[in-house]
């Protein structure tokens, strides 16, 4: 009897303990926080410290260090130190030579011939063009299942491999036959030739990505290839140690061929998933650089005499936007069922309705209230600094009177007398990732302007993505960070009919045509103009709700010199140019 009562007690206590424990732990999906530009740190460094050790933080364990399979920012941050592709970016994001000392582009812009420099891997083996052929084939090989294989879509023969029927994967022999036809070749060890199916002038930007680096077959196919003991790098640094979930240590690669040789003797990368912990570690002197500064600390840091010198804000190639459901099926070939059935059930498919919603949002107030003022108002998709950015695009500025007029038009088109008659619109977001105040801000703006009610549905990240893709929401949170600095990456696939990341269910054939034309336009100015025209269509349609170009606050100790921040940094300040960083006496 006693035992029974005790067991019951055990159960109750267990449940209480579990419930309490659970309530404290809100899993936040790893944020792809953008990176930062360095504070003034390009002055010549005369007095270097004896200890050239940089301690920084990369916000979490890299899921993989296999260049072909990596897709997460914490992996990429490390990979850009360990490998270099044929071409790379400079601090202004211009394409510059890296492994290739030069290249020729044929007159039809379909053949790119890269001339490789003399270079060796960290294990002493020469880097040959054949390793690039292997690496690129491995990337598009369906058996690798590389998340970023689609960047190869323009290479001749790649579309066959990328387009294999997901339900009926071909036999190995068929895949091998397709790989043989892929437009990559190595006529000799120093020459690598890429043949494109269509001229794609943005392809050099693709060739700067971490997935295109040379990979030695004998290395990557060996057991535990990505562990520190076996890792073979081709970049400025080596993987000296990788204590999983704890710390990565990089040391200079003695065989690094680049012109900028690392001054640092070690880079220690800790993995704090909580920015608050990184902030404390920085203040305690345990790390020298990190990002992002938690927004609740920004004001304090800016006013603290010990911290403010290291503080800076770096614009990102990253945008915060919200989706309007434009009513097309994810395939892009027909309307969503509910939208085809009744216009009233699908109000965001109405253009005037979307225009009215856009005009009712004060974007600067949104940024001030929900991002601590960090960010720049966005009215279109392509980010400032990229060819194709158009500041003049702002067809529907904040204007409540105009918004109400447009809403009246929209409501009569939808056949209802007031916004309340539409019922509650479904407004989706992923909970526990800081989006709650932003969703509330927008919902309240629309409620006050039109009496429009929304059902704000916060769910687990994975559930949210599934629903958003399926077009279940009328409105939803969204965002995009550039993979490579080119307008194609910001528009193609995101707003093209049936595009893989088209979360707005948007489809306009005129827009698609301009994007396709721009991809093959060799003249840079004309190309930028085509992207501007395409964005004009998109913004005139009010196809989505752009709100904010991201800015990330970061801290870099003043004794960290020559740190080059770019708008691609995402996990740590200066992550694209680890080799240039130096430590001054302090």
Residues that bind other proteins (CB under 8 A): 2-3, 6-7, 9-10, 13-14, 17-18, 20-21, 24-25, 27, 29, 32, 61, 63-66, 69, 71, 142-143, 145-147, 149-150, 162-167, 169, 224, 226, 243-247, 270-274, 276-277, 280-281, 283-284, 286, 460-463, 465-467, 469, 478-480, 500-501
Tell me the closest approach of the beta carbon of residue 272 to other proteins, in angstroms. Answer: 5
Tell me the closest approach of the beta carbon of residue 209 to other proteins, in angstroms. Answer: 13
Tell me the closest approach of the beta carbon of residue 507 to other proteins, in angstroms. Answer: 17
Listing DSSP states for 358-375 in one string gives: HHT--HHHHHHHHSTT-S
Tell me the closest approach of the beta carbon of residue 492 to other proteins, in angstroms. Answer: 13
Instruction: Give the whole-angstrom CA distance, residue 286 versus residue 390.
Output: 43
Closer Cβ to other proteins, 149 or 352, answer by number: 149
Tell me the closest approach of the beta carbon of residue 139 to other proteins, in angstroms. Answer: 11
Closer Cβ to other proteins, 86 or 307, answer by number: 307
Closer Cβ to other proteins, 365 or 463, answer by number: 463
- Alpha helices (H) along 25-109: 73-82
Closer Cβ to other proteins, 69 or 576, answer by number: 69
Q: Which of 298, 483, 472 is nearest to 375 (CA)?
A: 298
Tell me the closest approach of the beta carbon of residue 291 to other proteins, in angstroms. Answer: 16
Closer Cβ to other proteins, 97 or 493, answer by number: 493
Closer Cβ to other proteins, 226 or 358, answer by number: 226
Closer Cβ to other proteins, 382 or 530, answer by number: 382
Closer Cβ to other proteins, 75 or 533, answer by number: 75
Tell me the closest approach of the beta carbon of residue 457 to other proteins, in angstroms. Answer: 13
Secondary structure letter of residue 335 according to DSSP = B
β-pair partners for 312 = 554
Q: How far is CA 49 from the centre of its chain?
A: 35
Closer Cβ to other proteins, 102 or 246, answer by number: 246
Tell me the closest approach of the beta carbon of residue 242 to other proteins, in angstroms. Answer: 11
In sign, the C-alpha dihedral spanning 338, 341, 342, 347 is: positive
Q: How far is CA 506 from the centre of its chain?
A: 21
Closer Cβ to other proteins, 162 or 369, answer by number: 162
Contacts of 532 (CB under 8 A, 6+ apart): 388, 390, 393
Q: Phi and psi of 429, rounded to 5°?
A: -155, 165
Closer Cβ to other proteins, 41 or 325, answer by number: 325
Q: Which of 565, 539, 542, 538 is nearest to 554 (CA)?
A: 565
Closer Cβ to other proteins, 414 or 572, answer by number: 572
Q: Which CA distances in Å does 183 have to 30, 70, 112, 156, 515? A: 36, 23, 10, 5, 23
Cβ(58)–Cβ(571) below 8 Å: yes
Instruction: Give the whole-angstrom CA distance, residue 351 versus residue 327.
Output: 11
Tell me the closest approach of the beta carbon of residue 334 to other proteins, in angstroms. Answer: 18
Tell me the closest approach of the beta carbon of residue 93 to other proteins, in angstroms. Answer: 20
Closer Cβ to other proteins, 411 or 476, answer by number: 476
Tell me the closest approach of the beta carbon of residue 190 to other proteins, in angstroms. Answer: 31
Q: Which of 39, 36, 34 is nearest to 561 (CA)?
A: 39
Contacts of 529 (CB under 8 A, 6+ apart): none
Tell me the closest approach of the beta carbon of residue 369 to other proteins, in angstroms. Answer: 23
Instruction: Give the whole-angstrom CA distance, residue 491 versus residue 483.
Output: 12
Listing DSSP states for 119-187 in one string gives: -B-TTSPBP-HHHHHHHHHHHH-TTT--TTGGGGTTBTTHHHHHT--TTSPPPHHHHHHHHHTSSEEEE
Closer Cβ to other proteins, 224 or 392, answer by number: 224
Tell me the closest approach of the beta carbon of residue 575 to other proteins, in angstroms. Answer: 19
Tell me the closest approach of the beta carbon of residue 506 to other proteins, in angstroms. Answer: 15
β-pair partners for 184 = 194
Cis amide prior to 292 (ω within 30 degrees): yes
Q: Which of 285, 281, 283 is nearest to 272 (CA)?
A: 281
Cβ(240)–Cβ(234) below 8 Å: no
Contacts of 535 (CB under 8 A, 6+ apart): 380, 381, 382, 388, 390, 393, 491
- Alpha helices (H) along 25-102: 73-82
Cβ(456)–Cβ(427) below 8 Å: yes
Tell me the closest approach of the beta carbon of residue 548 to other proteins, in angstroms. Answer: 16
Listing DSSP states for 251-284 in one string gives: EE-TT--SSS----SEEEEE--S-HHHHHHHHHT
């Amino acid at each position: 009897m006693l035992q029974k009562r005790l067991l019951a007690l055990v159960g109750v206590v267990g449940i209480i303990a579990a419930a309490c424990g659970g309530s404290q732990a809100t899993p936040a999906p790893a944020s792809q926080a953008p990176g930062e530009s360095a504070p003034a740190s390009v002055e010549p460094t005369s007095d270097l410290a004896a200890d050239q050790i940089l301690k920084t933080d990369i916000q979490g364990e890299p899921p993989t260090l296999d260049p072909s399979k990596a897709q997460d920012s914490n992996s990429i941050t490390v990979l850009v130190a360990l490998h270099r592709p044929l071409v790379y970016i400079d601090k202004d994001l211009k394409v510059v030579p890296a492994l290739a000392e030069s290249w020729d582009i044929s007159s039809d812009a379909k053949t790119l011939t890269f001339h490789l420099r003399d270079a060796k891997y960290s294990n002493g083996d020469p880097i040959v063009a054949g390793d690039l052929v292997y690496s690129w084939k491995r990337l598009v090989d369906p058996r690798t299942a590389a998340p970023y294989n689609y960047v190869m879509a323009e290479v001749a023969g790649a579309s066959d491999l990328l387009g294999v029927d997901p339900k009926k994967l071909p036999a190995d022999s068929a895949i091998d036959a397709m790989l043989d036809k892929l437009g990559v070749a190595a006529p000799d060890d120093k020459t690598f030739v890429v043949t494109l199916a269509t001229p794609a002038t943005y392809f050099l930007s693709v060739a700067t990505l971490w997935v295109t680096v040379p990979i030695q077959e004998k290395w990557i196919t060996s057991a535990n290839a990505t562990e520190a003991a076996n890792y073979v790098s081709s970049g400025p640094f080596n993987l000296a140690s990788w204590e999983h979930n704890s710390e990565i240590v990089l040391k200079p690669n003695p065989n690094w061929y680049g012109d900028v040789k690392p001054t640092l003797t070690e880079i220690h990368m800790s993995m704090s998933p909580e920015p608050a912990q990184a902030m404390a570690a920085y203040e305690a002197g345990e790390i020298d650089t990190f990002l992002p500064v938690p927004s609740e600390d920004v004001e304090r840091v800016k006013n603290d005499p010990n911290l403010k010198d290291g503080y800076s804000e770096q614009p990102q190639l990253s945008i915060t936007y919200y989706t309007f459901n434009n009513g097309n099926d994810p395939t892009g070939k027909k309307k969503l069922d509910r939208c085809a059935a009744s216009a009233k059930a699908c109000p965001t498919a109405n253009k005037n309705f979307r225009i009215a919603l856009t005009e009712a949002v004060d974007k600067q107030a949104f940024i001030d209230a929900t991002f601590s003022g960090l960010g720049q108002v966005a009215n279109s998709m392509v980010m400032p600094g990229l060819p194709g950015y158009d500041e003049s695009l702002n067809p529907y500025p904040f204007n409540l009177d105009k918004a109400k007029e447009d809403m009246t038009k929209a409501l009569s088109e939808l056949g209802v007398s007031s916004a309340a008659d539409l019922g509650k619109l479904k407004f989706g977001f992923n909970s526990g990732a800081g989006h709650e105040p932003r969703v509330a801000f927008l919902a309240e703006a629309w409620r006050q302007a039109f009496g429009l009610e929304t059902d704000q549905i916060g769910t687990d990240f994975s559930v949210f993505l599934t629903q958003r893709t399926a077009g279940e929401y009328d409105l939803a949170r969204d965002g995009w960070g550039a993979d490579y600095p080119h307008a194609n990456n910001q528009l193609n696939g995101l707003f093209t009919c049936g595009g893989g990341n088209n979360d707005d269910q948007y489809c306009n054939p005129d827009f698609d045509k301009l994007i396709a034309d721009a991809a093959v336009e060799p003249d840079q100015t004309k190309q930028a103009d085509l992207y501007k025209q395409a964005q004009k269509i998109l913004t005139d349609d009010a196809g989505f709700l752009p709100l904010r170009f991201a800015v990330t606050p970061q801290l870099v100790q003043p004794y960290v010199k020559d740190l080059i921040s770019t708008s691609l940094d995402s996990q740590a300040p200066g992550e694209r140019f680890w080799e240039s960083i130096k430590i001054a006496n302090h």
